[in-house]
Structure 1
Amino acid sequence: MTRKVVITGLGATTPIGGDVPTLWKNALKGVSGVRTLEDDWVAKFELPVHFAARCTVPALDVLGRVEAKRMDPSTQFGVIAAREAWADSGITDIDHDRLAVAFATGIGGVWTLLDAWDTLREKGPRRVLPMTVPMLMPNGVAAAVSLDLGARAGAHTPVSACASGTEAMHLGLELIRSGKADVVMCGGAEAAIHPMPMAAFASMKALSTRNDDPQAASRPYDLHRDGFVMGEGAGALVLEAEEHAIARGAKIYAELAGTSVTADAYHITAPDPEGLGATRALKAAMFDGRIQADDVVHVNAHATSTPVGDKPEYTALKAALGKHLDHVAVSATKSQMGHLLGASGAVEAVLTVLAVHERKTPVTINLDDQDPEIPLDVVTSVRDLPEGHIVALSNSFGFGGHNAVIAVRSL
């Protein structure tokens, strides 16, 4: 018999809230976390994009300076989110050999890597910090969380671009179902608001250039969308075998009913225009969770606000849900907090779990002129979700053709 997996802890640090209660409150209000960047490097490098979505609470305000100094900013965010999720779960006694970590990133320690390169060029090899490699390696955040919790059943790092955080949920589910762990700390972390990634994304025309109105720049499904907004932060969720959670009297938010991972094998950056890989991912997650189309009431969409990315997701949703899609409330929360890259799926998973648990939908902002080729029922003001057993989906798609979907079911 397949083990049932539930979510018992949530954590986050984001551009619209430094913890889960603040994130949720602002996601329902439609607060924008996008701001004009005031860093000297924006002018120094003459970057064409002058804005991004930074975390509202700096990591140094939460972590001690000595502890933070040994972590890349992405790891700092991941540890903060994981600690909140762990405290929220209420776990105080656990077999550490049955506790695993699946914590993702899309880019990893880019600040550490590029700062070390500058130090090497300007000051020589003796000035490169001894901790540079552990800080820059993509698995640095999973390793740090594993050390923090004493998780000995494995510390895994899915790296699949913007699908990474959702793929971590897929891996966590499989670890519990297979009997390799009873509890898995899942999540994703990213800190790439740095001149090099900003310049690179701008060079490929992926970023919005609305420098004169940054809070209106991320506009999924809008006819005048022109690219995504760079964000940063982390999300974390404690997954637990249902029998383990019940035995300790845990608070349970929802069930992680199904997950899936597919690949387009189409293009290194562009999505399959017909959404075939995304369609297979949606259908596979629903099949995995024994979910029918009319069970689904809400979708937290990937919806990056790029001209070429939003439409294939609609095509995939239509193929997977058919006529029932007309009755599904769709939220595009990147409109508020930008695109957190490898952390986006984890933060959006937190919001999806809360939507099912609280039976309310986060909102989409900046949708002034909806693209007629994307006729979704997009949530622009808070809605109540129905009573009874309901399901919400969360989609993530990444460069390289990665597709990941989770299905969350109410209790």
Structure 2
Amino acid sequence: MDSAREQLRIFLLEEEEEDDELFFALVPAALAALQAEKRPLHTSILTGSIKVKEILEGHENWSKAEFRMEPEIFRATARYLSMKSLLCDTRGVDVEEQLGMFMYMISHNASNQDLQNAFQHSGETISRKINEVFHIVPTLAERFVKLPDSTHTHMKIASDPRFWPYFQIQEKEKELKGNYKVIKNARKESGVGWNDSLCMIVAEPAIWDRILQAHPKVKKFRSKPFPLFNQLALLYEGSVAPGDLCFTSTQEISHSSDQNMGMTHEVLSLDGLTNPFSNMGAPETSSTNMAKEAQESSTPNKEKEVDVGKKRKHNQVALVLEDYLEFKKEQAKRAVGKIVEASRHEIDTSISKCIATIESIQELTDEEKAKALGLFRCPLNREIFMNTSIPSVRLIWLKSQIAG
């Protein structure tokens, strides 16, 4: 136990000396970092506002390369955003520069660091302004994106010879669908039969006269088969798409097919003018309030920014010191734990323990016990005596030391 206490004392003294040496070097370095003058990062005379103005006033190809817009379209877009209060000029960034940042980013896949170098603003300012433009994209989509009419083909496409084969197939599909509907409606008449082998309508002459009066277009199928009727029934009556999702109206529809039908219907049902941007999570607040909040949040006081920078630097140094103290605390805790754990398994070799062990040995006389006490003045003899686990061997060693 004495050795364990001695090891613990030596360890604590060494740790204290290391801490003193470290703090002699760390504290001056921390003070120097706090007192060091902050060096400006963005020192170019070509600020973001001047850069945007120079691009817009230069050749239009320059604007197309940087912003993917002609200068007049860019200015018209900026005026619209400002007039509708979707974006507002702030103390350091006007609307044109905000739009320029956004267009430069999506045109060149630019990173935040690239935008900092190009427009001479901090990373926090760049991120905030880009997010403000992103937030108004759903509003712009609802105002300007118009869904096409899916029931009519655009004249430019319909008049292009390259697409004629497609329209020929489309016209043939319309013809087949019309013939299928005619035969289907005719089969609903009373007394009308159907020959599955011949794929023809079967009826008496009098019934045929009645069918032709109600459905004149079925006349050509009086003596002509329509072999595609069953296949078209699978396509039009009970399916949403060809392939493994084809099923008739009498078949049981699986749960996964219902989900696929819902998804297909949602994507394809454009006749109802469903807005594809309705799920983009447009903000519920008005554009005016959003612009005011953006303006208020983007006009900080310069003195406050300086104070925030100093506080941030102090906090960083404090965090470093705190992390170091936690590390040293954990390191000392582990070392002490190892010493304590080792002391638990260490055999007690104190003089009092040795005397108690000697007194319990019945094979020794009182004279031999008295002589053995002198051996325990040496720590090595105490360790040998207490660590010998076999009693007979311990007795032989003890008698040899007494006799010697």
TM-score tier (shorter)? under 0.3
Pair member with larger Rg: 2
Compute the TM-score of the two structures, normalised by the length of structure 1: 0.18
Compute the TM-score of the two structures, normalised by the length of structure 2: 0.18
Higher strand share: 1
